[in-house]
Structure 1
Amino acid sequence: MKLDAHIDGPDIAVTLTADRPLSAPVLCFSLMAPAEVVTGGTLAHACAGYCEVALPDLAPGMPHALRLRHVAGFQPANRAWLPLGAHLRAGGETIPLPALPSGRRPAPLMDGPAAELRIVPPVAGFAPTGETAVATAFHADPKAFAPVEALARRTGLGPFLDPAGLPLRVAVDGQVGPEAYLLDIAPDGVVLTASSRTGRFYGAVTLLTLRHTHAGRLPCGRIEDAPRFAWRGQHLDCARHFFEPDTIARLMDLMALLKLNRFHWHFADDEAFRLEIESLPELWQRTAFRGAGELVPGVFGGGIRAGGSYSLDDARTLIAHGEALEIGILPEIEAPAHAFTLAKVFPETRDPGDKGTEASVQGYPENVLNPAMPETWRVLEAMAQEVAQLFPLGLLHLGCDELPEGAWEGSPAADALKARENLVTRDDLQGWTMHRLAGAIAPVRPAAWEEAARGRNGGIGHDALLFSWSGQGPGIEAARAGYDVVMCPAQHVYLDMAHSADPDDWGASWAAVLPLEETLTWSPVPADAPDIAPRVVGVEGTFWSEFTTRDKEMEAMVAPRILGVATKAWDRTDRLTGPELHALARAYLPILDAMGWESGYR
């Protein structure tokens, strides 16, 4: 069997060649968005971007041409928009087809000026002496640096400690901030001053990094360093693609090397709920896998069957892994939208009298829970309370993005609820819903996407932490309304966006084309909104997995652009330029190679 595909104007041209006669075959595949068949077949079934196309009988060796087109204004941008997870059904047989070439391809880095200290994020201050210190490892208290030694060995960057190494002494100074550190580097040894375990860890990470980026010869002098923001995050979508726990742990290792301290774990969405909670076992048991015979077909490259779930022990292992790296985990559930599978498992979360026709931007019909239904609250409260209690960070992200147009407009039960609560619009009802759900997890602090600030009663409330994703405008509004905000504008830190406009590239494009240098061309506190500075508490990069079919495909999308995210989260000055970031990325390539991380750059 042979499958070829390419972008041809607004269409996707597909050629299928069978190696044997096939009677009434059906071609199954997934695209980034809902699609229609232009020529060559008949669309027999669709769910979001998943399509089943009935074809005429195929003769061996005779190519059959098929033309597809995304609907609702979506335009294919690159290879990620071609058919994913393609297979045939014919004569009671399911026949896998060869996968199209996937993932980002290598691209050159620009030349840029070498930094005085080749480290990301840049340190707050450095006073050099002009000398260097030879350091292949450090001689220090093993107990004080056990987490860094373990990190170094896991990532191929070790050893960090060696009795024959450069002496490293620890000093304690209560005047140094909780995440800050000082390094006094001299030819005969290093003094690391901090007031906390976290500061000591970050100081040691700086030494580990400089040892590699400066070929074992540390620039001598005094480093003074401290972060700008308390929240320095990276998000990973494990709902659209199941990432193995080991992959998540490797991502956290990379985060630690860049002093990122919050992992946003997105394990629930329309497609799946992947955490094996005890209160609602049917939820993850019925949604962990998608494909043939499953609740959800092979959307987003799921193919014949794909998926998995995370045991509670997996979660506890990752929590412990993060704690050793000074990383807290923010879990995310989804309410009230992005709940397609949840509503399928628990149909009484929908109003049976609802005559509405809402569909999500991804093409899912009826993916919104109805807050007027008692079952909605039984499910949501059980889910939220168990997940909140499992994770020690003391925060639970409740979702609240992309409520479809027309949500609840056909529901008599929702109309009655709005009348009782003096609510008018869908945003009013969503805000009421989020406020109630946030109250159900107290004293755990709620978090949510930017839309949770909407509604006539002020939205979610409860001192919620909001994430501004569609741009910085909603974050500015939320901050002025009294919310703490994490800035994660898609135009600069959505690492699933394509690096370039080349159709041979890979990634999404709805928000931006995002080359490495564009991760820097913004300020977390915009110049025209200085008043919000006290409310902007952090920066977060995100990675959505709609087009990811293998764990490794994530790596070249995330790194080295995560260097820009880390810079914006730590550095107070916005001083780093695009060419300088390219030069630093080049310095980090040996580190990524040592980790076995596919950077996509050489």
Structure 2
Amino acid sequence: MKRIAHFARAGLLAAAAALLPPVALAASPAASPDSAAGIAKSPAALTAFLASSLALRVAIDNNHANAAGVPCADLGADGAACATGRLILTNQGSKAIWAGGWKLYTHSIRRLLRLDNPAFTFEHLTGDLYAITPLPGKLFLAPGQSVTLPFVAEYWYLRYSDLLPRTFVAVDGAAPAILQFNDTDDETKYVVSLPADAQNNSTGNAPPVAAQPVSTRALPSVKREQTLPGSLDLHGVQLELAGLSMGQVQALRDRAQTLGLDDSRTHVVGVVAPKRLPADIAVPGGYRLAITAHGAFIEGDDPAGVYYGVQTLFSLAPAGGGRIPAMLVEDAPRFAYRGMQVDLARNFKHPPTLRRLIDQMSAYKLNRLHLHLSDDEGWRIEIPGLPELTGVGGRRCFDLSETHCLLPELASGPENQSGGGYLTRDQFVSLLRYAADHFIEVIPEIDMPAHARAAVMSMEARYRRLHAEGREQEAMQYRLIDPQDTTNVTTVQFYDRHSDINPCVPGALNFTGKVIHEIAAMYADAQVPLHTWQFGGDEAKNIFLGGGFQALNGTDPNKGRVNLAIQDKPWARSPACMALVQRGEIKSTDELPTRLAKQVSAQVAANGIDTMGAWEDGLSGANGASDFSTRHVISAIWDTVFWGAADSARNYAAKGFEPVLALPDYLYFDFPYTLNPHERGYYWGSHATDEYKVFSFAPENLPQNAEVFGDRNGDPFSVTSTGSAPAIHGMQGQAWGEVMRNDRFLEYMVYPRLLALAERAWHRADWELPYTAGVTYELGVTHHVDMGALNRDWAGFATVLKERELPKLSRAGVGYRQPTFTLTGE
């Protein structure tokens, strides 16, 4: 998930970039009336001058620094992979600038390993935040002059979005300010160049598309349809739907209005009549839809089936209304779980955007909205009785003590310019009701024990407040650290041990019990059942103990050298955890994540919640689903196909877990659409995931996918199916938030890929092969998949998407990306 630590070395072509001509300058002269110091009457005035005068540009020169002689292994780079570049600091003001009393704070999603200018020092603070300090007597910038800071960073840079904006300056005694030049979400304004191996003008994976006749094709596709004589002239609906609530009927009326179906002369009648449906349709969400010249009649297996029947009718209608062929549709969902995950923690997304997402999920028959409400970078839901969670954990600012807020991350700015915010209790309750009216279950995720820094630091702020008031017992009640813990850990995204809830202190279960109870109460107030709790559970580890590192005296040229003697596993130096080992309650701290998951599952069950979900590694230490207290346990599979997703899905299913596919190479919508470096996104699992790739995904025969697409670099790999077919519970798209700094970016990254996700989650295509043990699949080598059938199906889907559905997204105000394909004749 969003995992920089999963980068492995790639065979990239070495090249040099065009140079911007910076000038490195010598030590500062004495102060003069023409200098910044000469005009600054106060720290605030100096801050304002520096913010308006300094500009920071970045040039990346070489993504193969190791091959060019840079000692990447000695610098401790994962897999000995590092890149070189230059920070170019320019004085664009009218007065001279020199060092003294100010620092720059900048963000880097790559670990900075070295800064090669003796006039500056740099320090990693936490996460992606670094401080760069010009040394007194070492720096003088006259107006128009520049200084170059060569640097070495881990891995490589292939996207403009790898380089974050909103560098800010801080002067002693004044509030910090963003450099005006760098206060932008357009990375091309400050990224001077990327190396030649980052240049690619690919427009996407999709083959040429000829427009198809699609008047009878819905999106998602239906199980079966039969055309009837005549057609229905649909310009609006009068809904008479038995079994649906007033809110659910109103949701359909709102959809009709959005689509421009304002005339109410067409009668649409719906009833719940499961006994009248064929056996393969008489399942939750199944329905039969008869469209005649006079109207439409729907028989649903349940109220959701009636609702989906109306959505199919709306799908067949052009935006603004028009003629629909008379037809008989019999349809049912492929998977019970058809989801979309949105990360609110890294960068908050606002209720109107979430409601618009619910509208579109509902229109395309997705039924699970998984909200990632907490992580290292933020806590996004109000919890009564714990105000620090949102007061501190819900905002970012420049407070080195992190007493009042979290430090800026992910280019959020020193005063919460982006990324901050949270859902109030009332907003969340309202969102639950809105989702229920659209037949969508909202799944809350409170990630733990790792990825929990926002919670940990918030509860530390709470502890300090109550401790200062002499209320020690109350202060300790929800404290999430062992104060005597000295464990040295660096997490996947470069935080220390404060990223991890300590499972050995009493505050941990006090805290989880409180949060689960309060969120369950919100569902009760909304009169919406809480069926599923997401525990998270992923990535509780120290990255320096991974396979890409070795000891300082190691001899492997392909591993970074680090001082392994000082590296610990999580909680290894916590006296509270060592006490559990000594008492025989655990054998080692390796057991703690699974132990906590089991304990939380008991709390989940005690709150009447029958399902707990977790990312697959959060369950890896369990014997099976029976270890947990809830009736059902979902395992979200986030291995890639080329890293063993087929084996993971089969193994977790065999242990009684319900696999939900969340595969990065197909279902991570924070990954770029194409290879073009201007497309934003992380790309450790896929360099190009467009709507065609999502459409081509075969979820019930994961090995098949190895024949259609290569690995993340496009290189062939083979997968052989073994054992019996796993029972897949469902699938979901992921919108991790690191590169989605605002709501506009979210919609750009999610749409139109969400429609391809809906197609595969609802409908099994005829080109998807049945899972058969012993079959090997490899791109360009085997030829089991009927690519002609796949591409004909794609042409129909693409035509519907372009001609019917994109106009509907526009009418709904959705800021989608234009598709990567074109239709013949465009």
Normalised by the length of structure 2, the TM-score is: 0.67
Residue 360 (structure 1) aligned with residue 491 (structure 2): yes
Q: Distance in 2 between matches of 1:36 and 1:155?
A: 56
**Aligned with residue 153 of structure 2, among 62, 65, 70:** 70
Which aligned pairs between 1:29-48 and structure 2 lie closer than 5 A?
29-39=106-116, 41-48=120-127
Q: Distance in 2 between matches of 1:371 and 1:286?
A: 22
Aligned to 1:393: 530
Aligned to 1:495: 669
Aligned 8 A contact 2:694 2:753 in 1: yes
Bigger drift between 96-105 and 256-265 goes to 96-105
For these two proteins, the number of residue pairs brought into alignment is 598
**Aligned with residue 653 of structure 2, among 479, 485, 509:** 479
Residue 265 (structure 1) aligned with residue 371 (structure 2): yes
Aligned to 1:373: 505
Q: Distance in 2 between matches of 1:526 and 1:160?
A: 40
Aligned-pair distance for 1:457?
5.0
Bigger drift between 324-333 and 510-519 goes to 510-519
Aligned-pair distance for 1:372?
1.6
Q: Distance in 2 between matches of 1:329 and 1:413?
A: 36
**Aligned with residue 765 of structure 2, among 548, 573, 583:** 573
User: Do the aligned partners of residues 574 and 383 (structure 1) sit closer, same or farther apart at CA in structure 2, a change above 3 Å counting?
Assistant: farther
Aligned-pair distance for 1:456?
5.8
What letter is aligned with 2:596?
T
Q: Distance in 1 between matches of 2:729 and 2:397?
A: 40
Bigger drift between 232-241 and 151-160 goes to 151-160
**Aligned with residue 802 of structure 2, among 586, 589, 593:** 586
User: Do the aligned partners of residues 187 and 545 (structure 1) sit closer, same or farther apart at CA in structure 2, a change above 3 Å counting?
Assistant: same
What letter is aligned with 1:464?
V
**Aligned with residue 815 of structure 2, among 587, 595, 598:** 598
The secondary structure found in structure 1 opposite 2:225 is strand
Aligned 8 A contact 1:568 1:574 in 2: no
Aligned 8 A contact 1:152 1:160 in 2: no
Q: Distance in 1 between matches of 2:586 and 2:624?
A: 12
The secondary structure found in structure 2 opposite 1:346 is helix
Larger radius of gyration: 2
Bigger drift between 316-325 and 347-356 goes to 347-356
Q: Per-residue CA shift, 1:386-429, capped at 9, x if unaligned?
A: 22343322221111001113112223332331343453354422
Residue 8 (structure 1) aligned with residue 61 (structure 2): yes
**Aligned with residue 756 of structure 2, among 561, 564, 572:** 564
Which aligned pairs between 1:546-565 and structure 2 lie closer than 5 A?
546-565=738-757
Q: Distance in 2 between matches of 1:27 and 1:570?
A: 50
Aligned to 1:430: 593
Aligned 8 A contact 1:233 1:540 in 2: yes
Q: Distance in 1 between matches of 2:517 and 2:724?
A: 35
Aligned-pair distance for 1:507?
0.5
What letter is aligned with 2:446?
I
Aligned 8 A contact 2:571 2:589 in 1: yes
Bigger drift between 20-29 and 222-231 goes to 20-29
Aligned to 1:114: 212
Aligned-pair distance for 1:69?
4.3
Which aligned pairs between 1:48-197 and structure 2 lie closer than 5 A?
48-55=127-134, 56-71=139-154, 74-90=155-171, 92=174, 94-96=176-178, 97=180, 98-102=182-186, 110-114=208-212, 116=214, 117-129=216-228, 131-141=230-240, 147=248, 150=251, 153=254, 157-160=258-261, 162-164=263-265, 166-175=266-275, 176=277, 177=282, 178-197=284-303
RMSD (CA atoms): 2.9
Q: Distance in 2 between matches of 1:305 and 1:466?
A: 38
Q: Distance in 2 between matches of 1:359 and 1:540?
A: 29
Aligned-pair distance for 1:122?
1.0
What letter is aligned with 1:365?
D
The secondary structure found in structure 2 opposite 1:308 is coil
Q: Distance in 1 between matches of 2:238 and 2:252?
A: 17
Q: Distance in 1 between matches of 2:584 and 2:674?
A: 48
What letter is aligned with 1:376?
A
Aligned-pair distance for 1:560?
0.8
**Aligned with residue 638 of structure 2, among 452, 469, 485:** 469
Bigger drift between 506-515 and 416-425 goes to 416-425
Aligned-pair distance for 1:272?
1.6
**Aligned with residue 433 of structure 2, among 320, 325, 333:** 320
Bigger drift between 307-316 and 5-14 goes to 5-14
Aligned to 2:362: 256
Aligned to 1:382: 514
User: Do the aligned partners of residues 554 and 58 (structure 1) sit closer, same or farther apart at CA in structure 2, a change above 3 Å counting?
Assistant: farther
Aligned to 2:545: none
Aligned to 2:384: 278
Aligned-pair distance for 1:61?
2.6
Aligned to 1:309: 422
Which aligned pairs between 1:518-533 and structure 2 lie closer than 5 A?
518-526=693-701, 528=721, 531-533=724-726
The secondary structure found in structure 2 opposite 1:492 is helix
Residue 299 (structure 1) aligned with residue 409 (structure 2): yes
User: Do the aligned partners of residues 355 and 292 (structure 1) sit closer, same or farther apart at CA in structure 2, a change above 3 Å counting?
Assistant: closer
Q: Distance in 2 between matches of 1:28 and 1:210?
A: 53
The secondary structure found in structure 2 opposite 1:291 is coil
User: Do the aligned partners of residues 89 and 107 (structure 1) sit closer, same or farther apart at CA in structure 2, a change above 3 Å counting?
Assistant: farther
Q: Distance in 2 between matches of 1:207 and 1:457?
A: 46
User: Do the aligned partners of residues 93 and 289 (structure 1) sit closer, same or farther apart at CA in structure 2, a change above 3 Å counting?
Assistant: closer
Aligned to 2:448: 335
User: Do the aligned partners of residues 89 and 69 (structure 1) sit closer, same or farther apart at CA in structure 2, a change above 3 Å counting?
Assistant: same
Aligned to 2:737: 545
Aligned-pair distance for 1:451?
1.6
Aligned-pair distance for 1:14?
3.9
Q: Distance in 1 between matches of 2:212 and 2:121?
A: 57
Aligned-pair distance for 1:596?
1.8
Aligned 8 A contact 1:120 1:567 in 2: yes
Aligned 8 A contact 2:165 2:185 in 1: no
Aligned-pair distance for 1:490?
1.0
User: Do the aligned partners of residues 574 and 519 (structure 1) sit closer, same or farther apart at CA in structure 2, a change above 3 Å counting?
Assistant: farther
Which residues of structure 2 form unaligned runs of 5+? 1-51, 63-82, 189-200, 461-478, 524-528, 543-568, 703-720, 768-789, 820-826
Aligned-pair distance for 1:46?
2.5
Aligned-pair distance for 1:68?
4.5
Bigger drift between 216-225 and 31-40 goes to 31-40
Q: Distance in 1 between matches of 2:660 and 2:357?
A: 20
Aligned 8 A contact 2:103 2:171 in 1: yes
Q: Distance in 2 between matches of 1:133 and 1:394?
A: 40
Q: Distance in 1 between matches of 2:273 and 2:255?
A: 30
The secondary structure found in structure 1 opposite 2:311 is helix
Q: Distance in 1 between matches of 2:722 and 2:306?
A: 34
User: Do the aligned partners of residues 589 and 17 (structure 1) sit closer, same or farther apart at CA in structure 2, a change above 3 Å counting?
Assistant: farther
Bigger drift between 98-107 and 410-419 goes to 98-107
Aligned-pair distance for 1:332?
0.7
Q: Distance in 1 between matches of 2:322 and 2:722?
A: 43
Larger relative contact order (CA 8 Å, sep ≥ 6): 1
Aligned 8 A contact 1:32 1:547 in 2: no
What letter is aligned with 2:273?
D
The secondary structure found in structure 2 opposite 1:591 is helix
Aligned 8 A contact 1:15 1:65 in 2: yes
The secondary structure found in structure 1 opposite 2:444 is strand
Q: Per-residue CA shift, 1:468-510, capped at 9, x if unaligned?
A: 1123333321111111121111111010011122222210101
The secondary structure found in structure 1 opposite 2:352 is helix
